[in-house]
Chains A and B, each alone.
Chain A
Amino acid sequence: MLPASLDLLDVTYFLSGSVLVSSFILLYQTRLFGILNAFALQSIILSLAVAWQAMVQQAPHLYVTAVIAFLMKGIFVPLVLRRIVRVLNIHRAVETVVSINLTLLGGIGLTILSIMVVFPIARAADVLVREDLAFALSIILLGMLMMITRRNAVSQVVGFMAMENGLVLAATGARGMPLVVEVSVAFSILIAFFVFGIFIFRIRERFDTIDVDDLSAHRGDAR
């Protein structure tokens, strides 16, 4: 089936590395549709990585996780967000981010940081688990970076979802997250997603924009 030259480690490493790379692709985007496509790509790669882990670890419940990741985050969430973007008529909007290069370099810094943090701590763990945890932590941090540097509410939602992708990667690598926990995480994310969706429409209705910077003026501490 697979060529013999591809050993197990290489494929695992390739897949989890690709999820990390797709996080950077996500950070690179400035257009909303680009962000959504990159997010769908990340989720699909993630589901492949999870399915591969399920095969390697002989853990059938991980297949469920993979399917949830693929259907929910690979197809459903991007489609709904795409619809929101179109309904709000902001699909031509170019996001004004800090600076793409600065953000990307910050992302590299975060990746190095998480590798430096995870490697000494998980010294005793299995090599693949260690590498998986390091990648997962950096994907979580990159999701946070995305939420910090973006001003548009839709891309902040995507940043949040990308963080969750990192969590799933960590959970599958660590061999032992029970299915119940995974399903409940998936559903709480889904609920959060709906809350976000309603939130976006409400902001839009009230303030005529979904640029969250404009909300600062309405905070109590504003001058």
Chain B
Amino acid sequence: MELINDLFAQGVQMMLTLLAAPALVGLVRKVRARLMRRRGPSIFQPYADLFKLARKEALLAHSSSWLFRAAPYVVFAAIWVAAALVPTFASGLMFNWAADILAIVALLATARFALALAGMDVGTAFGGLGASREMMISSLAEPAMLMIVFTIALLAGTTQLSLIAQFMLDQPVGLRVSLGLALIALIIVSVAENGRIPVDNPATHLELTMVHEAMVLEYSGRHLALIEAAAAVKLLLYVSLIMSLFFPVGMAQAGGTPAAMATGMAWWAGKVVLAGALLAFGETAVAKMRLFRVAEFLGGALVLGLLGMILLFVSRSL
């Protein structure tokens, strides 16, 4: 019976993540549009886009191989599984115990690898350009991400996300410098990984500045729908990750009552909406960076992560 309940809760979490993700993208677009004094499309527009794409014919270039067709499924699967591992409205769900935060980083890297290969597969200039840029950004973001993970793991004594969230809930963590640094670094990494301004502009189709869009330029139909959905889930994943690591307030416990789960869900929805609005504010406030400035931006995140670890080390040996 308990197993069925656990499975059910996990299933709800996975479906909820998938269903809520396009709304988050829509929300960010809407808030951005409102900030620019445009009316903007409805929050639910991304759903319509996805359905439209899913119904359309998928065109394949003559020079494409099986890799090109397989990549969207690999990308989507890897990101969805990674999203299932992150605590959203409740911690300690069934899959949370299967893998830790390092596994999530690895899954996301797998997705990125598959997409970069697919970008180069057709052999067009843009695909290769996008893939090489994406790899450059991720090669800088990954070390920073690992430093953040290590900082938090040192602090909480575990890499299991549920246990970390529990630790943050239980302990009066107080004013910890390392934690603040890790938070800033994680926000920088999330911005870079999701291709948001200032690293990449998700709305652009200007060749010079595209990163993610250049990679998926050859895709159409259901393949594109899968990739777009995966990108939306990834954004939600990062938001949930930040929230569960640093603000796990209101999160339900494993095996909690349905009422507790519902409260957790309301908290989670509130936090996601807040994060989406903040992202939109941030994106309207800053301009996109030159590509070569991104290295410095992400290098800053790496240094913040390292610094957080050093400070933690010092406070440990106090």
Contact = CB atoms under 8 A, between A and B. Distances in A.
A11 B299 CA distance: 28
Interface stretch (A79-87, A111-119, A151-159, A175-183): A111-119
Interface residues of A, number: 29
A107 B299 CA distance: 12
A24 interface: yes
B176 interface: yes
A11 B175 contact: yes
Contacts of B314: 115, 131, 134
Interface string A5-38: 1110111011001101100100010000000000
B141 to A, nearest CB: 13
A100 interface: yes
B300 A28 contact: yes
B67 interface: no
Contact of A131 (B172, B174, B315): B315
B181 interface: yes
Contacts of A111: 307, 310
- Dominant secondary structure of chain B at its interface with chain A: helix
- Dominant secondary structure of chain A at its interface with chain B: helix
Contacts of A28: 296, 300
Interface in B259-318: 295-296, 299-300, 303-304, 306-307, 310-311, 313-315, 317-318
B172 A5 contact: yes
Interface string B168-183: 0000101111000100
Contacts, number: 60
Interface string A56-98: 0000000000000000000000000000000000000000000
Interface string B144-183: 0000000000000000000000000000101111000100
Nearest to A23: B307
6 tightest A-B contacts by CB?
A: A17-B177, A101-B299, A5-B172, A14-B175, A104-B303, A100-B296
24 contacts: A5-B172, A14-B175, A14-B176, A14-B177, A17-B311, A18-B177, A21-B177, A21-B304, A24-B303, A24-B307, A28-B296, A100-B299, A100-B300, A101-B299, A104-B303, A105-B303, A108-B306, A108-B310, A111-B307, A112-B310, A119-B317, A127-B318, A131-B315, A134-B314
Given A5-B172, A105-B299, A108-B307, 13 more contacts: A10-B176, A14-B175, A24-B303, A24-B304, A24-B307, A28-B296, A100-B296, A100-B300, A107-B303, A111-B310, A115-B310, A128-B318, A131-B314
Interface of B: 172, 174-177, 181, 295-296, 299-300, 303-304, 306-307, 310-311, 313-315, 317-318
Interface of A: 5-7, 9-11, 13-14, 17-18, 20-21, 24, 28, 100-101, 104-105, 107-108, 111-112, 115, 119, 127-128, 130-131, 134
